[in-house]
Amino acid sequence: MVIEHGDRLVLPTRSSLDNILKITFVVAGWGLSGGDRVIAIYADRLRKRGHDVLLVAPALGKPSLGARVVGAFRQILNPLPEPAADLTHLNAEVARRRSRRVGVVDADDVPDSDVVIATWWETAEWVNAYPASKGAKAYFVQHHEVHSYLPVERVRATYRLPLFQIVIARWLADVMRNDYGVDELEIVPNSVDHAQFHAAPRTKQARPTVGVLYATADWKRFEVALQAIKDVHSRVPNLRVRCFGGEQPEAPFPDFFEFTHAPAQSVLRDIYSACDVWLTASSSEGFNLTAMEAMACRTPVVATRTGWPAEAVIDGVNGACVAVDDVDALARETERVLNLAEPAWQAMSERAFATVRDSSWERSTELFEAALIHAVAHARAREGA
């Protein structure tokens, strides 16, 4: 049974919840990725709804000598300020702790709970081995993690585990159902915080500006986006690029780039709102939250046909969608948006905003909460059977 966007879900209210849930998220760590941010949002919002929420991550080991040497050489060749040791999207009021052993969260590290949530393929292996006292076992799936740098068959095996799945997009539900035989899961779409990401109706920038996310994961295809941007720059010499990322760049950017490392959430809106078009070139996406946030700031999106943009971006309406790894198409459509006459660009900007106007983290949190309640009910029914 695939339950989507609340269909067949009876959303709980405060008065209909018999008990406050004790919820444990088992995470690989807390950082600055989009997936980390979604977990942080739900953890904080569930806490504010009265639930007892805890995040548990593996203890950190000391980096190897080789890793320390490589890091030192990178600093010499490309001196950049080091990030804080524990940068995270998590609200300071969200309870979190590390396990006792490096690289793993054992059952003894996790309190008895109503529900325990795996958030990554490796954590799914751990959670699956926990005793029933740790809570109903759920698996929050934000991507189909079959990447070449991971043990693909182990990853695939986690999607077949008897964990109650919560996925973030229709395409993920289809993959889980068709490829792994999952017959019961719930879709809880990501959203956007309009109090944080917003912009008044506006005109194009005085200097043509493209926005892009910097990330080193191969499937993010930053090098593809960079090549497309360079192609555009060859024809639009006064181009400016606004770029941010949670990682420090491995090589210097071209001089027309303005890079912000690990910007505060309050700064992200200013970056999105200072762009005429947001470019994303991923070969695979679980969702692509930055595209949604850019649209909330009235910025059209040019994207590859994957993740949420494949469902939401319409050519010539709120941006454009192109084939994966098609540098020429990415450059062409980016330049097309930049060259729109002012009235046409403003119309596209307004349609981009309209695409996400009704999205709400409050609604998504209600759905996530309902999914957890169903996970608990599902586990209890199975125990009874």
From CA 313, how far away is CA 299, in angstroms rounded? 12
Q: How many domains does the chain have?
A: 2
The reported pLDDT for the residue numbered 69 is: 44
Helix or strand (DSSP H, E) at 384: helix 361-384
Count Cα atoms within 13 angstroms, Cβ side, for 215: 17
From CA 280, how far away is CA 321, in angstroms rounded? 10
CA angle 25, 26, 30 (to 5 degrees): 90
* Residue 103 CB neighbours (<10 A): 11
Within a domain: 196: no
349 and 366 share one domain = no
281 and 366 share one domain = no
* Residue 22 CB neighbours (<10 A): 16
Within a domain: 201: no
Bigger pLDDT: 301 vs 183: 301
- The mean per-residue pLDDT over the stretch 293-306 comes to 97
The reported pLDDT for the residue numbered 385 is: 63
Q: What SS3 class is residue 376?
A: helix
94 and 152 share one domain = yes
Closest C-alpha among 185, 175, 168 to residue 42:
168
227 and 147 share one domain = no
- Match 């900007």 to its residue by tokens: 349
Within a domain: 198: no
Structure tokens at 229: 């941007």
Is it the case that residue 51 has pLDDT exceeding 80? yes
DSSP class per residue in 266-312: HHHHHHHHT-SEEEE--S--S--HHHHHHHHTT--EEEESSHHHHHH
Within a domain: 50: yes
131 and 245 share one domain = no
Lowest mean pLDDT: which of 16-20, 52-56, 102-106, 378-382?
A: 16-20
155 and 16 share one domain = yes
Q: Alpha-carbon Rg of the chain, whole angstroms?
A: 21
259 and 134 share one domain = no
Question: What's the burial of 238, exposed, middle or buried (CB within 10 Å: 0-12/13-18/19+)?
Answer: exposed
* Phi/psi at 240 (5° precision): -120, 145
Within a domain: 199: no
What letter would DSSP give residue 53?
Answer: E
Within a domain: 59: yes
Axis-axis angle for helices 34-48, 289-296 (nearest 10): 70
Within a domain: 72: yes
The reported pLDDT for the residue numbered 15 is: 37
Within a domain: 103: yes
185 and 230 share one domain = no
pTM of the model: 0.80
305 and 375 share one domain = no
346 and 377 share one domain = no
Task: Give the domain range for residue 25.
Answer: 2-191+360-384
From CA 312, how far away is CA 79, in angstroms rounded? 40
139 and 282 share one domain = no
Instruction: Say which amino acid occupies 161.
Output: L
CB proximity list for 281: less than 8 A, separation 6 or greater: 220, 221, 222, 224, 225, 228, 303, 304, 325, 330
CATH number of the domain to which 102 belongs: 3.40.50.2000
57 and 127 share one domain = yes
Helix or strand (DSSP H, E) at 225: helix 222-235
Phi-psi region of 136 (alpha: psi -120 to 50; beta: other; left: phi over 0): beta
Tell me the pLDDT tens digit for each residue of 107-166. 999 999 999 999 999 999 999 999 999 999 999 999 999 988 899 999 999 999 999 999
